[in-house]
Amino acid sequence: MKIETGQGTIPLITLLGIWSISALNALPGLAVSPILGQMSTIFPHSSEFDIQLLSSLPSLLTIPFILLSGKLTERINNIVLLQVGLIIFALSGLLYMLSSRMWQLIAVSALLGIGSGMIVPLSTGLISRHFIGRYRTRQFGLSSAITNITLVTATVLTGYLAEINWHLPFIVYFFPVVSFFLSFYLKRDTISVAPVKVTVSGKIEVKRLVSLMLFYGLVTYLAVIVSFNLPFLMKEYHFDTGASGIIISLFYLAIMAPGFILNRVLSIFGSFTKCVSLLCMAGGMVLILLSGNEWILGLGAIFIGFGYGVMQP
């Protein structure tokens, strides 16, 4: 089966490889989220800072390695770099399973961030390389949706696995093994696909670029603090890890949904899209802050997720 790209076609197996990489983008820190509330019990001598570091370190280290990965692509084949990142990612999952001390978990979280940082820019780069025009826009929406479908499934899974044994949620970090095998089809396709010639005119609008980066940073921060801090809030309200996993899953489900109808959402709200998205996120925050009811918390997570889901792709 061939997939239309706007500049020809690619095999379905190549598209599956691209989608599998997209599914990994938000996995770092996911396995830790449902068990954050248990960490003080599992490791009674660990500080609050240690627990927060465990969840935030992967994302923190992802940032510099995204920049480094972009630089390395000038010298190293993209697919080779992708495969190295996937190996590091999967190795982190194995080391998580073997860790029994807090400092070991923190060290592995740093390794996970390195692997993730090498993968993230390549996932969007593969879409930009293979697709153009409306086909590219559609794939960015689908990529966002696929990322969050994986998160919904994995978050529910990790929530229930955490009730059995706190090591088991880290199983989700073995998913890169699938992407690694599919990457060989990407490598094969890369050889046969000719690059698209693009004529660039004018200069980059630095002020606009910085404003977009700051805006995306803001909405991402607002979304990330939900997944990082909701488990602690759920613990205060005496909910179990399963309930925490379900509410976080609703959050990612709400992020996922706009990806399937992104063009329609943009056509409905037009120039008010950013404003509507921010209002949804603000309303969700208010619901979470003012209520300890499980249903209200879920509704707040949905509002925040939808607002971010529109802006993410």
Report the amino acid identity of residue 210.
Answer: V
Quick one: how far is CA 41 from the chain centroid? 28
β partners of residue 60: none
Q: Percent of the chain, pLDDT > 70?
A: 88
Report, as an integer, the average pLDDT of 60-88: 81
Is the confidence at residue 210, as pLDDT, over 80? yes
pLDDT single digits (tens) 116-164: 888 877 777 788 888 887 788 778 878 878 877 777 777 778 777 877 8
Look up residue 300 and give its two tokens: 């707040």
Question: What is the 8-class DSSP label of residue 46?
Answer: -
Quick one: how far is CA 234 from the chain centroid? 22
Is the confidence at residue 196, as pLDDT, over 60? no
User: What is the bridge-based pairing of β-strands 2-4 and 9-11?
Assistant: antiparallel
Q: Which of 57-71, 142-156, 236-250, 288-302 has the lowest mean pLDDT?
A: 236-250
Higher pLDDT, 195 or 265: 265
Look up residue 185 and give its two tokens: 């089809």
Which domains are assigned to the chain? Answer: 1-198 (1.20.1250.20), 202-313 (no CATH)
Pairwise CA distance, residues 302 & 248, whole Å: 9
Query: 97-101 long-range CB contacts below 8 Å, 24 or more apart?
Result: 97/167, 97/170, 97/171, 101/43
Task: Give the closest residue to 126 by CA, choosing from 95, 83, 89, 158.
Answer: 83
> Residue 194's CB: how many other CB atoms inside 10 A?
7
Look up residue 48 and give its two tokens: 């609050």
pLDDT value of position 192: 45
> Residue 115's CB: how many other CB atoms inside 10 A?
27
pLDDT single digits (tens) 251-273: 877 887 887 777 788 788 887 88
